[in-house]
Amino acid sequence: MAATEEKSSSSEEEVTVRKIGCYGEKVRVLMVGEDSAAEETMLLWGIQQPTLSKQNAFVSQTSLQLRLDACGHTLSILQSPSSLTKPGVTGAVMWDSGVVLAKFLEHAVDSGLLVFQAKKVVELGSGCGLVGCVAALLGAHQVFLTDLFDRLKLLRKNVEVNLGQGQAHLRGSATVMELVWGDHHPHKDLLHPLPDYVLGSDVIYNEEAVTDLVATLLQLSGSETTIFLAGELRNDTILEYFLEVAMKYFIVGRVDQTQWHPDYCSSRVVLYILVKK
């Protein structure tokens, strides 16, 4: 995974642009430093001004079903809006970050910047399962869609609805599995072999979960693993804390919106790519 590196000057800031992991385009690399995480969050909120744009532009969280065209299929993602009333439950409905990530992956594959065929993928915090379903349709050999135990019923239903119980039209398999972040002994199928891709959307949501999330990312990461994380820009303090912790162990790059699917861009969403140092 050798990478070429370029440096440019922008607003008195030295910016490093390079390829990271399996992604075939150059991204802006976050420079490690005492204030680098704070500078990144200030930059994001200053440039994208997320609070001024429409929330959930691509989804309707009051609907029982979200329909989305992807990979030559019309996906039907079932939701449970009533579950949003339960404290801490957000994965029972779709969020823009999941749609953005799913369509980014499709666009990147179509553009020749990513290859999913014959790859192993683990999705964290799968929720309704859109991203994992798209990964399977993009040709991944093994896709593991993971979440907490009480979230798996809806997740399994969406995998069955969109990929078929027999999954005969897939090149590989899609498996729903429980995974608790920070667990010292995750299922062996997740680790052997280590995945080519780890995916997550809206997984950075509170400071308490950051340490366990990063620990799980480290467990799942080898020298050939590329991580894509998309998230809603809600709380700069939480994002800053995640970046501070993640940059101790990973090279972190931000994917510019010019590289996203042109019809699925949002100033409320950020997309990062990580590889283990």
Residues 155-182: tens digit of each pLDDT: 999 999 999 855 556 767 899 999 999 9
* Whole-angstrom distance, CA of residue 114 vs CA of residue 23: 6
Alpha helices, H only, the chain: 36-48, 96-110, 130-137, 152-163, 188-191, 207-220, 236-246
| Helices 152-163 & 130-137 angle (0-180, nearest 10) | 30
Tell me, what's the pLDDT at 42?
96
Tell me, what's the pLDDT at 80?
86
11 in the Ramachandran plot: left (φ > 0), alpha (ψ -120 to 50) or beta? left
Backbone angles phi, psi at 137, to 5 degrees: -70, -20
Tell me, what's the pLDDT at 229?
98
User: In terms of DSSP bridges, do strands 173-178 and 197-201 run parallel, antiparallel, or are they unpaired?
Assistant: unpaired
Q: Tokens in use for 143?
A: 């896709």
Question: In degrees, to the nearest 5, what angle opens at C-alpha 149 toward C-alphas 143 and 152?
Answer: 50
Give pLDDT < 50 ranges for the chain.
Answer: 2-4, 8-13, 89
Tell me, what's the pLDDT at 9?
42
Q: Annotate 24-42 with DSSP letters as a single string.
A: -SEEEEPPPSTTHHHHHHH
Tell me, what's the pLDDT at 56?
87
**Report field, pTM of the whole predicted structure over 0.75:** yes
Tell me, what's the pLDDT at 32?
87
